[in-house]
Structure 1
Amino acid sequence: MQQRNRKRIEAGIGIRKLSLYREETVLELGKAPASPVSRASVAAVVANPWVGTGVTTDLSAEVGEVAPLLAKLLTDRLIDALGGADRIEAFGKAAIVGTAGEIEHGGALIHTPYFGNLMREFLQGESIICFADTRAEAGEELIVPMWHKEHAATRSHYQTVSARVPDAPRADEIVVIAAASTGPRPHPRIGDRATDPAITAQTLEAVLS
């Protein structure tokens, strides 16, 4: 997205702040991973358009206007931070609602096709996007879960990244977060859900008794 379009979108949906976090795992217990893995999260601090409305208020109009722009804005920055959508292997999303809002307000911005479907498309994924949401005071840390963007059963890519904006959300704001990783956890070796044996309480009766 061109810089001019980014600024137009930021102004149009009431964004106060954007926060980018990126980390790269170089060593794990003294040993380098098979390949360097980077994780990143991008958080947008946006005015909550529903503050002061009732619990029966239809949220759909604002969802259709705000969520697609957030999806584009956040994924563009993730792609820039991690070197391209083709390098991204895992993704996740999250929202933190300020104390004057409802938890449903965060869900409205991340749990509908206006955000989720577009985030998936922009990051070239196929899986349902795992998520976290909460309502909190400014500065609260949220752990954002991620899994493989194409094969959700790929256990090696079950991982998290921490997201925190020190002065957000204010009571009348929402922090919307998109997160991604370029690879699995360091040294994955606990198998894969697609190839696990069938395990039930009966098969483990000797262990459980």
Structure 2
Amino acid sequence: MPDFPLRKTMLFIEDIHHDGGPAPATPRRRAAIVALVKNPFAGAYVAELQQAMDDLKPLGLIMTDRLIAAMGGIEGIDGYGKAGLVGEGGELEHTALWHVPGGYAMRERLGEARAIVPSSMKMGGVGTRIDIPLGHINAAYVRSHFDGMEVGVPDGPRADELLFALAMARGPRIHNRMGGLAAEDAVGEDGLR
């Protein structure tokens, strides 16, 4: 049973009041949470990693709950995404440990979320930043919700650490006008349309 001691978490909150053109009636909120944890696999190749995802599930739920609170509650959250960043002592595959704990925690707490949780992964040293891709929670083809949020921690990830991130959004991009499937027309049965 791998151990992922938590070193720190950080919250990022953006309220977008204007983006050129007329101001929206309601500001758009995006928020992200990151956690820096010890990477128990750093420095060695380990063939079997999948079972370690279970050890990260509690962290996924804790981060999701804090993120929902930062968003001001669950009402209206309609975008999400996740990311993983590994320090240079690990390997990119270690970031994939976040797929189940991060994605399923948000789906569990948000209820009707059917679309795949967009994800990005990369390796980097202390101070490296990563973009968390965002998409609509029920239909991947809703273009108005394609977005990203950049996050990073000044003192991580260290060589033997992993940075795990979750992000949520309320509402489409300000002044979205690229057409495609409208959020209100999404059926969401297959997570695509």
Indicate the TM-score class for this superposition, using the shorter chain for normalisation: 0.7 to 0.9
- 2:123 match: 135
- 1:63 match: 53
SS at match of 1:31: coil
- Greater share of helix residues, 1 or 2? 1
**TM-score, scaled to structure 1:** 0.81
1:193 Cα shift? 4.3
1:31 Cα shift? 2.1
- 1:122 match: 109
State the AA in 1 paired with 2:128: E
SS at match of 1:115: helix
1:29 Cα shift? 1.2
- 1:105 match: 94
Deviations 1:11-60 (A, max 9, x none): x7411010100011111215212421110110000110211331x52113
Question: Please, which runs of 5 or more residues in structure 2 have no aligned partner?
Answer: 183-193
Number of equivalenced pairs: 180
1:157 and 1:190 map into 2 onto residues whose CA distance is 11
1:177 and 1:171 map into 2 onto residues whose CA distance is 17
**TM-score, scaled to structure 2:** 0.87
Match of 1:178 among 163, 166, 169: 166
Indicate the percent of aligned positions where both proteins have the same amino acid.
37
Deviations 1:40-87 (A, max 9, x none): 110000110211331x52113322112x11210111111000011232
Matched, 1:91 2:91: no
1:141 Cα shift? 1.1
Deviations 1:141-191 (A, max 9, x none): 111110100121111011111111111100000000000111110011110
Runs of 4+ in 1 over 3 A off after TM superposition: none
SS at match of 1:74: helix
Q: How does 1:73-88 map to 2 (within 5 A)?
A: 73-88=62-77
Matched, 1:21 2:12: yes
| Contact 2:134–2:167 under 8 Å retained in 1 | yes
State the AA in 1 paired with 2:133: P
SS at match of 2:173: coil
2:137 and 2:25 map into 1 onto residues whose CA distance is 20
Larger CA Rg, structure 1 vs 2: 1
